[in-house]
Amino acid sequence: METTQIPLEQLDPYRYQIPSSYKEGMRVPGRIYTSDRLLNDILKDKALEQVVNVAHLPGIVGQSMAMPDMHWGYGFPIGGVAATDPKQGGVISPGGVGFDINCGVRFIRTNFKQEEIQDRLNDLVATLFDFVPSGLGSKSGLRLNQNQVKQVLVKGSRWVVEEGFGTAHDLDATEDYGAIAGADPQAVSDRAYERGKCQVGTLGSGNHFLEVQVVDQIFDEDVARDLHLFKGQVAVMIHCGSRGLGYQVCDDYCHSIGHCLTKYHIEVPDRQLACAPVESLEGQEYLSAMRAAANFAFANRQYIMHQTRKSFEKVFRKNWETMGMQLIYDVAHNIAKIEKHKLANGRERPLCVHRKGATRAFPPGHPELAPRFQKIGQPVIIPGDMGRASYLLIGVESADETFYSCCHGAGRVMSRSKATKMFNVKDVLADLESRGVVIQAQSKATIVEEASGVYKDVTEVVDVVAQAGLSKKVCRMRPIGVVKG
């Protein structure tokens, strides 16, 4: 099936629909959030076909959705969102979460203005590079035994804080307070434990990063003031996930859940959408393991933030509290959660919401938000590429049509192999230098594979979600220092 043959009905400037009548077996329509310009990139791969495939899942409600950063993934498109109703045979699919479970983003403010750190920027980036291990197979100085890893899988960020590497404020500013309930360490394989025991506090490779940024635009003065953000301010963004442990959990369950298609008489158009009923033994076991991996990722980012604070302390010879290094928010993507949502008939139901390469965006007053976010809503963090910009937004009530979901980044338009043919490291480094960006990376290949031209322009992506009413823009940050694997 050619992707370009899929019928797209434009509903408004930022919404397109694939009718459920398009292909036999579709239970709901497909819904694409994009612009005319970004749609050209979407049509270059088979991501739309995956939106159609997801619409076949048993128990799916609403629409099979994809965000403007969407591109081809495993089973689900990256940028895909789907909710299923467990009471109506709704399923959970590891392909709808992804391999890097709870790959998320953490955003930290400081009291500094750019001019106050500019002459120390090279030293700061070098120190961050030394303090936070990065690259494929990187290992942390924090070595845990299996019992300690089990505690991390249950407690998440709270375990790291209890060990002295953070504060209660950090937990309040983390999605789910840094630990999703219902994690079961027994559902995680020995191989996953082995891969994870040396990885709490490591960035990894690929698109993961640690960035020093400057707030260069404010769109909502009131929300920015509430979050203690101002123009010209230095901030830090951390993007990473559950490392080898999370990958192993996904790999284990992609294989083991495959038999559920036959056992529960489930038909899907792609084996990568292997799934199990949420309320089945297999579905509950996967959810328990996924939550454990998600908690590992929260702990990973918490410890990286601790090391980031220590780096600033070393370079500027002040404690992190004096430098105002408070966590604004930590948001998860690549996750599935049981949440209460209203359906079209107005009834509230617990649904299993898959967000693969998508992020939660709860509005003001939502009961799952910490008290400090009740008035303004949940911060939504959308990173771009290392040469351009990233954005902070806030959740809004009008995002109920996506089950309060938003995009998670800029979205790739080029594979890593193609990037190595299109770009060379010398030119990418020269481009970053011209933009005032200092970079340190473990691998020259990573620098090329993560060049700005590999990604959509995050500003265009963010404009779509803002204009579509999925989130509201608060501020923009541009990178000045980058650490990559």
- Of the candidates 32, 31, 22, 92, the one whose C-alpha atom is nearest the C-alpha of residue 57 is 92
228 is catalytic: no
pLDDT of 140 reads: 85
- What percentage of the chain exceeds 90 in pLDDT? 93
Candidate from 121-125, 142-146, 363-367, 445-449 with smallest mean pLDDT: 142-146
User: Which amino acid, residue 202?
Assistant: T
Strand-pairing partners, residue 234, are 214
Strand-pairing partners, residue 104, are 240, 332
281-316 and 243-256 helices cross at what angle (nearest 10)?
A: 170
Average pLDDT rounded to a whole number, residues 318-327: 98
Residue 135 pLDDT grade (very low, low, confident, very high; cuts 50, 70, 90): confident
User: Which amino acid, residue 143?
Assistant: R
pLDDT of 50 reads: 98
Average pLDDT rounded to a whole number, residues 217-226: 98
The count of other CB atoms within 10 Å of the CB of residue 99 is 19
Average pLDDT of the residues of the chain: 96
Instruction: Pick 3-484's CATH classification: 3.90.1860.10, 1.10.10.10, 3.40.50.1100, 2.50.20.10.
Output: 3.90.1860.10
CA–CA separation, 292 and 328 (whole Å):
24
CA–CA separation, 341 and 39 (whole Å):
29
CA–CA separation, 213 and 106 (whole Å):
13
**pTM value?**
0.96
Choosing from 56, 239, 354, 408, which is the catalytic residue?
A: 408
CA–CA separation, 288 and 274 (whole Å):
17
Rg, C-alpha atoms of the chain? 21
Q: What is the DSSP letter of 150?
A: H
First to last CA, the chain: 37
Beta strand 327-342 with 78-84: parallel, antiparallel or unpaired?
Answer: unpaired
DSSP run (H or E) holding 265: none
Average pLDDT rounded to a whole number, residues 429-436: 95
Average pLDDT rounded to a whole number, residues 64-76: 97
Examine the pLDDT at 1 and tell me if it is beyond 50. no
